[in-house]
Amino acid sequence: MVEFAVCLLLVAVAVEDLRRFRIRNLSVLLLSAGFVAHCVERGTTFLLVPHAILAGAALALLIAAFVLGAIGGGDAKLLSAALFWVGPEGAFVFAVMLLVLTLLTIVAARLGLVASRGTGRAAKIPFGPSIAGAWLGVIGASHLL
């Protein structure tokens, strides 16, 4: 049940980022809390510590990327929340999916199919849909295995 709610929220986050280049703090908080609820629901609370360590380390690096202007603040928080969910065991699959979806978003932005801000190589694209898509892919893949 928790996973279904998370999937719906991820779709809403992706749509809002596509439309407004905005990822709400409340959404990131609810997604993160969803993982805690998911662990409690499944009796896997032992996953919380290693997943939190990965997410915390990633957040530190992503804050640095935000300060340098390489990534948006909402994107940094959403990506950290995603890593909290997927953990070390799902990080590789998530990274591959994220790379593919980000490249597709870049191509779509260059073709004018996805809104972007700025022009040329400095153009900014909404990163939330790629994060959400890769996250949904990992959730889906976990049910297939």
Q: Identify the pLDDT of residue 145.
A: 66
Residues shown for the chain: 145
Bigger pLDDT: 69 or 145?
A: 69
Residues 6+ apart with CB under 8 A from 84: 32, 35, 51, 52, 54, 55
Count how many domains the chain has: 1
Q: How confident is the model at residue 6 (pLDDT cuts 50, 70, 90)?
A: very high
The pLDDT confidence band at residue 89, using thresholds 50, 70 and 90, is: very high
Q: Which domain holds residue 138?
A: 2-144
DSSP one-letter string for 35-88: HHHHHHHHT-GGGHHHHHHHHHHHHHHHHHHHHTTSS-HHHHHHHHHHHHHHHH
What's the rounded mean pLDDT across residues 71-91? 96
**Mean per-residue pLDDT, 130-142:** 94
pLDDT digits (tens, 9 = 90+) for 90-118: 999 999 999 999 999 999 998 989 988 87
Q: Which sign does the torsion angle of CA 64, 69, 70, 73 carry?
A: positive
